[in-house]
Structure 1
Amino acid sequence: MSSQVDEYYRQLFEQCPVGMVVCRIDGTLIDINPAYGAIVGRTVPETLNLNYWEMMPQKYAAESAILESLEQTGRYAPCEKEYIHKDGHLVPVRLSLVLVEKDGDRLILSTVEDISDLKGAHQERQESEKILKQSEARYRSLVTTNTQIVWVSTPEGICFELESWIAYTGQSLAEAENGGWIDAVHPDDRGYTGEVWSAAVANRSLYQIEYRIRGKDGNYRYFWVWGAPVIEEDGSVQEWIGTCTDIHDRKLAEAENQYLEKRYRSLVTATSQMVWITNPEGLQKADMSNWRAYTGQSVAEADGWGWIDAVHPDDRLHTAEVWSAAVANRSLYEVEYRVRAKDGTYRYFWVCGVPVLEEDGSIQEWVGTCTDIHDRKLAEQTLQQSEQRFRSLINTISQIVWVATPEGVGITSEMLSWMAYTGQTEAEFQGSGWLDVIHPDDRAHTAEAWSVAVANRSLYQTEFRLRGKDGTYRHFSVCGTPILEVDGSIREWIGTCTDIHDRKLAEAENQRLMDMLNHSSDAIIVRDMTDKILYWNQGAQRLYGWTREEAKDQYIYTLLKKTFSQPKEAIVAELLQQGNWEGEVQHLGRNDKLITVQSRWTLQRSISGQPCAVLEINTDISARKQAEIALRQLNQELEARVAERTAALENTLAEAQGLNAILDNLADGLLVTDITGQITHFNPAFLAMYGLTANTVKGHYHELPISGLADLVQKTQSHASEVFAAEVILAKERIGQAVATAIFKRAVANEPTACFGSALLIRDVTAEKEIDKMKTDFISTVSHELRTPLTSVLGFASIIKEKLETDVFPILSSEDRKLQKTIKRVGDNLNIIVSEAERLTSLINDVLDIAKMEAGKVEWQMQPIDPTELLDWATTSTAALFETNGLELITEIEAELPQVIGDRNRLLQVLINLISNAIKFTEFGSITCRIKQQNNAICISIIDTGVGITAEDQPKVFEKFRQVGDTLTDKPKGTGLGLPICKQIVEHHGGRIWVESELGKGSTFSFIIPIYTSNHKTSAKLNLDALVKQLKEHVITTTAVLHENRKTILVVDDDANIRELLRQQLENEGYNVREAKDGVDAIHQIKTARPDLILLDVMMPQINGFDVAAVLKNDPHTADIPIIILSIIENKERGYHIGIDRYLTKPINTEKLLGEIGLLLSQGTSSKKVLVVDKNASTLKILSDVLQTQGYSVIEASNPQECIHKALSAKPDMIIIDSMFSQEADLVKTLRFEKGLENVFFIMLSDN
């Protein structure tokens, strides 16, 4: 049984696939199995002769460690060791050792497993892991550094690795995930992009597409997108990985290539050259349309070498040789030959061809062109001939010809004429040596001009003095130009030096003569045959006012209005026939000043003998003409002849008689006196003007009824060097304009000129005055007539507006937006009507103002005025304009300014006009009002920061109906009368007004008014005699206190529209209204039914409003009825003289009218206050008693000071004043202009 068991274990030991070994502690082998022998590569017998530990490379070190473990634990856990194979290589093994005892002997049982394959697999796995890590690192580096966008997605196509996508597009991770990446794709590309991706994912196929991606800068670029599935071993998709490659530049290049291809095809079609293509061997292809079109060859004729038949026979051999050599050498093909056109003529062509190479360097094809150079060949031949001519010209020309390099260095071979003239040698003129023969004063600017021309490749032009070989300098004009190559570079410089010495001397002499002409006292003008001005000297500028720059190139008739003594056609004919003309001409200069000249014309002819210009010399003889030089010469000659020789008296008398005949036939009156005032000469026109006879005009001028002329004679005698003019009264109420001047004796040698009398010329200007008056009356009448329709327009527009706002609009639907828009539009339109009518009223007032001023009908209320208060009133009146326009008001007023004398309202009108204008033309900034004293006057300036006025427009601003600016494009802002009115007002005050301005920098309008002195005379006192006839007629009582019911108002106007307007306005305010169509009707109605108040027009048929008011105010029963005049004319003075209560002008200001009506009616319900002023106590007592018995409240004053004090404090309704007091300090005017006393009724008590 034991032997069977041993046999079993023995077989198990032998057949075990794992190596087994039994050894002693020292390593002596006892037993091994075949598997162990196979591990170490030995047979069992070979192995048993070895020591167990010798099979390990560690030997004793390994043995010691194993034995120590066996001793401690009895076993050695599995470990990996290496055995030494028989062939020397190491075999990895896994050992397990157990310490056993057998028959008292300690043995080691070990199992050995060859793990070479396992080790190899493990090593391969480690190597794979290392490679995988390197691959992953490289992949990450590639993703980071690659310019492409790398992306990874799940098998289902959901992208999850999008770092580079996010970095490029600027999307966030949340925006790009779950398909959000497609939002960065161009909207036009999204549809098919999604379809292709879905198809690729579904089919697990390659994903390839092109679309545009938006970068984070918002710009789209083209990308080529490629993606591939990563397949597992089982064929499933592990993931998708792909890239987006930027192909935007390539796309643009492809588009550019396509564009170039189209351009090439278009060029081939449109070019004048013949384009040809051959195969690599040099045989022409069939597509030779340009060649065949030109030569007329067919496709078959041109194919292969057939094209050469169209080449000129003399050029074929050379052409074929060059072509064959180019094909063989694959080099550029260039040749020139003649080609026969289909009409049989030959022309020169320049032929060029290049090989088109493949990438491997082989020839794909030949492309070339044939360029027609026939004309160039002919030009070259012509150029050769030109060069020969040029050389001949250089040798024969009188100018110095020079040639220089592009850098400006003279070329020796081309400087022969320079060296011949200057005597310089080749070495001397090299570099900058040529400057040595130029005058020292000219070298610097010559060198600078040459350097600039060379640097800028521009034309070289200058003048300098050049020294000849004889040492003398002469003036030369130098001109040089660069000769350019085809590429624009300079090939050379060529130029000439032209001797202009004689011309320069002539120019200097001519300039000397021109200076003499320019400084001549006469006006010298040269004009061509079309009258265009070629020359205009300083004398012409002084005489006519235009500068040379203004006059040159102008046609003379556009500047000077000429009046000739004979027809101009006759003058021109005489000039052309005789070559000159002389005579007197009257000109109107720049300021419309009449100038009489002695004109001398000389015809200038061209070299061909044709008339080319006219020299005109004009001598001003205006002063002589104005002073009647003929008379002066006569008197001087008479005195000289009498003093020198009596014998010549008969001749002198004959001449005087001839001159007297001329003077006697003058249309103007003539009066001549000697220095003592004795009348020495007069003509019939003078007698007719003054209604005198020849017998009455004797003796001294004081004895004649010519007071106006007498003043002029006195002035000429006291100021003999001046000419005086004045308006005088002629007979039969006619008006004359007189001009007076002193008469001087002709000077004898070494004796001073002496005045020996006066001469006066008188012209009847009655007709001109009447025409001017008719113009003024016409303007006034038209303006007055416009007021009536304006009153209706303004009034009815206001009523319609009020009725719509109070009665119509409130009942209309407020929810209908269209209706509301219409309501607003209607309201706006009515506002426009009212605004424009008010503006027209203002314009009419300006026209009336200027008309009244020109007619002398303005009544000036002159009084002392504080200029500071005047400015305060003006700025207060215009304060709203400053606020509306957002402008700052600045005042600069000197301290302790004296008073001025003037009409307060008129000066206030000037200031308000100037301030309003300044605001109107100033968009932003400030308006400065400055007052200061200048000598004996006050200067007031209005300074703005507006648009300014050009220098040429400044004189026009004070002209009537003139407005600065382009009235065709700019809307006129008024009548253009505001400033002319200001000028009239200021000049009436003895002042002047002017403007200083610069365009874009604002304007300053200034005026001066004389200061007030004690000897100033105030304006004439009001004539109030017509106010009352008898005191009893005006001292009446008011009616009893009026009923509290509605008041009755009588409207008197011949215009039915005005009556209807006033009726509606007054009835709206609760008044009873009655109407009267004229003055007669009004008086009748007032007598039958007394109204509470009367509204009265002035201009009515039969009897005017003033007469109606006079009738009513002179009737005790109607004198107390308040009367308000409503008129289109302004004559308040007359109205208040009559005793009316208020004077308003049309168009009617409804608000003001209703206010005055209410005030007058309310005053009528209580007793009126009367201030009685008289120094006589008894008279004062009688008046007071009478008035008090009539129901008046009486206030007494005995002197002007007391009168002013009580008038200001009590505000009476009427002032009865002794006429003697009214003359003291202009008491009535002083009271009239005090606030609250403007409409007080005055009664003057006269001794008469």
Structure 2
Amino acid sequence: MEKINIFHRSPLAQDQTVQLNMDDLRGRLVQRLALLVLAVAQLFILFYESATPFPLPAMTLWLMLTGLGIGSLTLSGRAPRLARHLMVWGLTAVLLYAMVYLPAAWLPFVGVLLIFCQAILVQGSEFITGAMLAGTAVYLVTMRSYPYPLAGILTNLVLAVIIAWLTIRALYTALDWLSKTQRRAEQLLDVTRSQQAELRSTVKSLQITNELRLQAERELLIANKQARESQRMKEQFAANISHEFRTPLSIILGFSEVMYLSPEVYGGLAWPPKLYRDVSQIYRNSRHLMSMIDDILDLSHFEMTGFTLNKQSTELEPLLQESLGMVADLFRNDAITLKAEIEPDLPPLELDRTRMRQVFLNLLNNACRFTEAGTVCLRAFQHDGEVRIQVVDTGPGIPEEQLARIFTEFYQVDYSLSRKHGGTGLGLAICQRFVQAHDGRIWVDSILGEGSTFTIALAVEEPVPGGQLYRTRDLNARPSGKLDPVLVVDPDPSVTSLVQRHLPDYEVIPLPNGAELDVQVAAHHPVAVVWNVTPGETPPAPALAMPVPVITCSLPSRTWMADAFGALACLNKPINFEQLNQYIDSIGGVANLLVVDDNSGICQLVERGLAARSDQLTVRVAYDGESGLSAMRQQPPDLLLLDLIMPGLNGREVFDIMQQNEALAQIPVILLTATDFISEQFAGQNSQLTIHRSHMLQPLELLHCIQPILKVLQPPYGNLLADAALGEPEPIIKEVA
């Protein structure tokens, strides 16, 4: 095995690498030349013809060549540098001796080959050898009148020296380039190894992170479940305990109310003033406690079961005036003034009147309780496509740092005020839930010491004209970016590609056959199954019973052509070699393949495409049908690639002739053609489009299906009129739709 010495990282190391590779090349060349010299010496002495036995020049030349070969072989392993010089100057001496004592006209021209070898073995020796050979040739011609073509010899020697020198330069350049390339490859290898290590580390980190994520998700799910269970239990407990409190409290409140408001029912009993004041305290605090329990019950009910809204088209001004009337008694104190600023002609809103009335009452009640003097104003106006309702007071205001928590359950701004003015911290939380249920917003703006403004924003909905239906969203919408899948059943990938091009808004999933259709339907939940069949055929009955619509159609398929001929398969040009290799593997034992195609480029393409199988597969070519049949008769191939359209015998005729020969009829055939040819072959057959669904189509669905079909199936009245005008009426063929 050849070895290339590589030292890298520095220019000095690079020079050493080039020199080592050059020395290795020279050593191998010396060994081969030594063996060649020995062989030439023996052949020379064997076939040399002379009038005298064992002539001295011939024997001397034989001894010189034999000694040179043996000496160079011996020294090549111990002293390679000395062996190179011995080979260079020994060959020079042998050639000079032969020119002197064996005056053959061709001997000087051997120096051309010698110069090339010496240029490789010893740098610069080509100049010395060339000069010596040229000088010797001139001497022998001028002094001894040897019949050498001096001009030709000198020209060849000069050209040989120049070319040898340039060749050696190119060789050094190639070795230098090889060294740089190898060094660059090693650097890239080091980088790749480093990146692979980083990648492995990253993958390991990702695996650990993924495991931690999965563990965190499991823990989060458990924690979420526990939190939901804890919340449910808390809400259930609050509801239960509030309900238990409310039952006895309602009795206390009822009796205290009778004693405080209607003492006469107890007859002519005179109530002491102290007792009457005590009963009044019981009555007021019972009402306060009942209000708190009602708030807790409402909140727990919302948390557990939610609540429904009974929305109605509502004129906002009457609802606001009604709310103002209900709280008017709270503002009898001369220190607080209740005002209303309601913009006229507000648009009607879709509201649950009871829920929104409760929101307005809560806000007005809070404003009254926390405003000791000044005004409370209820405003309503339209702004940026919304109706805004504001409750503005001149109370103490809310600190800025507490505004973010004002709508939190049980949160109170100041507990001393709470004790002074009452409240549970639930009213604003309930208001927020009701407003958000109406797709609205509620917020508060406040300046400490000046007052607060609570604002409700409700969107104005455009009226929907009567008698029209609108679907605002797909009830079965898939995740964002996920296309609806469509299963296409056909073994021909070109059919799937055709469907995908014309259905860009769907994910087309190919199925070579319907054997696993039920599994694929369960896995992908497609919106439909497109089953491509030969005209006149139908899918099997189990497929038509699927819970998904099955669309049977007849799109041009290479499978049709293969079935029509009885061939193994049909491939489009240009050939898909992945498919071709799959077919070769499925046949098994294919060692001899014949390509019959009048296009030499296709034949060459097949040879190139199957080059990876060259060690186990022989590819033969024939450029017409006759040649193909002749090649098959001489040596039947294991597989035939047959072009359908050829001059002379076309593919169909070749196939028919093969079927008449028992031996040739057994050869597997793969047809080569184009999609257009398939369409032409089956153009005369009825195409079809049938929709099957396991449950009935509703009339509206049928009408929706008919509309796009009518846009596609335009009657060919123009063709029929033209045929009638020519006097060649054609029978009308019904399309199956």
TM-score by length of 1: 0.21
More strand by share: 1
Greater Cα radius of gyration, structure 1 or 2: 1
Higher relative contact order (CA 8 A, sep 6+): 2
